Chains A and B, each alone.
Chain A
């Protein structure tokens, strides 16, 4: 196949795609802040909490979709977007956590500790963030070099943390489970594909 712009872009082109992605990933926060601060949102704190949580999950799943897409024939440069998607997932998760600590709990650490112990959805949400934090810290080229093989092992934490994040959503919903179950289905597909390819390596190579 003749290399096209999309299958084999120049490094400068990839740079521009990354710059575009960087701006795109800021749009949900901008939209959410606009809704909250302009008075369109009746319950602005709830809007910010829900939107930041949703986008943390969206970007986490987008990052997890890249390697299966690659295996199904998508161009290789997509891999170069994965770190930014992961870091943005961390960014939105941090905003989500900060709103909880500040606007919900007013940094009352006693109440926060109590909440973490007593409320399962908070417990798993915190656990997910605790697992995401080292991945964000070690996302630099320097840490990649320093940790060598360990880096890959460490970053497999993304699988359990994604499961915890979806459970966090499932457990907080009052009644209508449609949306969290949709996230669960997408995550099951992304993790299921990996498992399938691992258990059936020959098939995976044929597809490639």
Chain B
């Protein structure tokens, strides 16, 4: 059974921007404006035609129910411990098959024209959320390093900071966390590097200071706290695929027709909704991305 929800609520109605601004003014006024704190800076972002009209989840939901194993394997641990991650200074080294390899500081990344992208996020575990990210197309960044003709894949790596990440003391996964995309997936306009959430800097548990967001793939593909991006000729190894190759493929496109070996992917529980809803092919982004996989066997290439 599919419960229909109205999808015509403009995002501006859900999170009154003035509420945030008022709160900020109040705090600044009463605190006496001591230091410019990075997390308090509002991120100016333009609206995007790629945003969904689905109702976004609350900031509370998005920031208190996270999978970020570097900070613990339960859903609440990332919110408790991710604040320990020092996100300044931060650089992302971009290299490999690139004509102009270079590093980007977080300040440089924040200078890219930012957009609000309200995306559905579907976790491989069977739940989903709608999240108003702030970010910019990964393609904009990759173009700046001038990928060579041999660049067929992009590999991503999360920072590894044992002193700040209590979860990496246990080898639940083979650290550092790694992810990868095919070049055309990486260059797709839906694929973004997110630096913010709800108009403010990204909280630690959501992957501060910069993370990937690929909305048509299961959430674990959207790697957090990126420290390295490498252009490659060959398909890179990826963390969950290394951990359980039969359960998590390189592509991991959201696909209701291909079950996880241990559970069904046909439906999902949207956080905030009581009953499950049907999962859509490519998480509802089939119109935009199905063409990337034309002629491919998506059961074999799960």
Contacts and interface: CB of A to CB of B under 8 A. Distances in A.
Contacts of A46: 127, 269
A104 B271 contact: no
- Chain A interface main SS type: helix
A88 to B, nearest CB: 25
Majority-rule SS of B interface residues: loop
Contacts, number: 39
A176 B171 CA distance: 10
A174 B264 contact: no
A119 B263 contact: yes
B1 A175 contact: no
Contacts of A43: 65, 75, 127, 269, 271
A171 B261 CA distance: 11
Contacts of B64: 42
Interface residues of B, number: 22
Contacts of B65: 42-43
Nearest to A42: B65
B245 to A, nearest CB: 13
- Count class of interface residues, chain A: 10 to 19
Contacts of A106: 1, 275-276
A42 B262 contact: no
Interface string B162-177: 0000000000110000
A121 interface: yes
A171 B262 contact: yes
Interface string B48-86: 000000000000110011000100010100000000000
B243 interface: yes
Contacts of B269: 43, 45-46
Nearest to A40: B64
A176 to B, nearest CB: 4
Contacts of A45: 269, 274
A104 B276 contact: yes
A113 to B, nearest CB: 13
B125 interface: yes
18 contacts: A42-B60, A42-B61, A42-B64, A42-B65, A43-B127, A45-B274, A103-B274, A103-B275, A104-B276, A106-B1, A106-B275, A119-B262, A120-B262, A175-B69, A175-B243, A175-B244, A176-B172, A178-B73
